[in-house]
Amino acid sequence: MAFEPQEPITLTNLPPFAQRMRDAADVVWEEGYRQPFIRELGAGTLPRDTFAFYLIQDELYLNDYAKVHALAVTKTDDNEVMVFMAQVQHAIFHVEKTLHNEYLASFGITAQDMRDARQSAFARAYTANMLATAYGEDLIDILVAVLPCAWVYADYGQRLAREFAGTLDSNPYRSWIDTYRTDEFWQSSVWLIEHIEAIAATLDEPRKRRLIEHFVRGVEYEYMFWASAYDHQMSWRPEWNGLAD
Ligand SMILES: Cc1ncc(CO)c(N)n1
């Protein structure tokens, strides 16, 4: 389907460079939606301790994710970009972390448990990669590094809400789905896509290809974040779990 520039950017009306990134990631993206963690989250059957494992990892993730947005501010004097980055940081602490805190409290996970928590190998690889980009690369690289985070969650949130609409009322993970299904959450991706599109139009093909590669890698990290949580896997190999404790 061709991009309709007069129409708003939606999950299916994407400008050309965003469409290229999305197409390149498609296999991972669709397998990601079909993976057991996401299926069971949608059905409400995901074991609580698996969701708790994910939430603890995601708490740690969000700290690094906030830092990446803070570092983006140091790369530009464009106030529109600076305001966006500040708004995302605000949403991390006041929307996503509020959601987490409600779940963590209901699971009996304490502040001390959180202070003792360590990142899994998969989560650490993801945020180390994002932080390296944020410290060492340009604004465009940071925008592309954070886009999979915003976009995959918005896409899966909306799809889960639609696919499992009939059982959402009794789904213990409903407030998680409700957080990511909103148009407000999707609008972050729209903002990123628009700004990436404008910058990408000024770049040569090899540079664009590198950005696409970064984007696909980000979608892969999103996949593995859930897959490793599903298996409660802290280390690269399961038999190494706990060796450093
Ligand atoms: C791992 C991960 N990616 C993206 C989001 C959405 O902000 C999140 N909370 N966690």
User: Using 50, 70 and 90 to split pLDDT, how confident is the model at 71?
Assistant: very high
Question: How would you label 79-114 residue by residue, b for 16+ Cβ within 10 Å and e otherwise?
Answer: eebeebbeebbebbeeebbebbeebbeeeebeeeee
Any domain includes 238: no
Overall number of domains in the chain: 1
Any domain includes 95: yes
The residue whose CA has the least distance to atom 10 of ligand 1 is 58
- Average pLDDT along the chain: 96
Which of 7, 31, 102, 222 is flagged as catalytic?
A: 222
Ligand 1 mean position, distance from CA 66 (Å): 11
* Number of Cβ within a 10 Å radius of residue 235: 15
* Number of Cβ within a 10 Å radius of residue 49: 10
CB contact set of 48 (below 8 Å; sequence gap of 6+): 107, 172
The reported pLDDT for the residue numbered 75 is 97
The domain in which residue 194 lies consists of: 23-232
Among 60, 61, 215, name the best residue to mutate to test ligand 1's pocket (greatest count of ligand atoms within 8 A of Cβ): 61
CATH code at 47?
Answer: 1.20.910.10
Any domain includes 237: no
Which of 58-62, 97-101, 135-139 comes out lowest in average pLDDT? Answer: 97-101
Predicted confidence (pLDDT) at residue 134 exceeds the cutoff of 70: yes
User: Using 50, 70 and 90 to split pLDDT, how confident is the model at 238?
Assistant: confident
Ligand 1 mean position, distance from CA 149 (Å): 5
Q: Which residue has the tokens 């296999």?
A: 27
Closest CA relative to residue 88, chosen from 112, 72, 77: 72
Active-site residue flag, 149? yes
Predicted confidence (pLDDT) at residue 244 exceeds the cutoff of 80: no
Any domain includes 120: yes
Q: How far is CA 2 from CA 189, 192, 194, 199, 209, in A?
A: 19, 20, 16, 20, 21
The reported pLDDT for the residue numbered 1 is 64
Any domain includes 9: no
Any domain includes 156: yes
Query: Which amino acids bring their CB within 6 angstroms of ligand 1?
Result: 58, 61-62, 96, 149, 153, 222, 225
Ligand 1 atom closest to residue 222's alpha carbon, by position in its atom list:
1
Q: How many residues does the chain have?
A: 245
Any domain includes 39: yes
Ligand 1 mean position, distance from CA 60 (Å): 11
Q: How far apart are CA 41 and CA 45, in angstroms?
A: 6
Ligand 1 mean position, distance from CA 62 (Å): 7
Q: How far apart are CA 54 and CA 49, in angstroms?
A: 9
Any domain includes 108: yes
Which of 4, 59, 149, 163 is flagged as catalytic?
A: 149
Express each pLDDT in 7-42 by its tens digit: 999 999 999 999 999 999 999 999 999 999 999 999
The reported pLDDT for the residue numbered 242 is 83
Ligand 1 mean position, distance from CA 204 (Å): 30
Closest CA relative to residue 193, chosen from 27, 5, 2: 5
HSE value, Cβ hemisphere, 13 Å, CA-based, for 4: 8
Active-site residue flag, 222? yes
3-class secondary structure, 13? coil
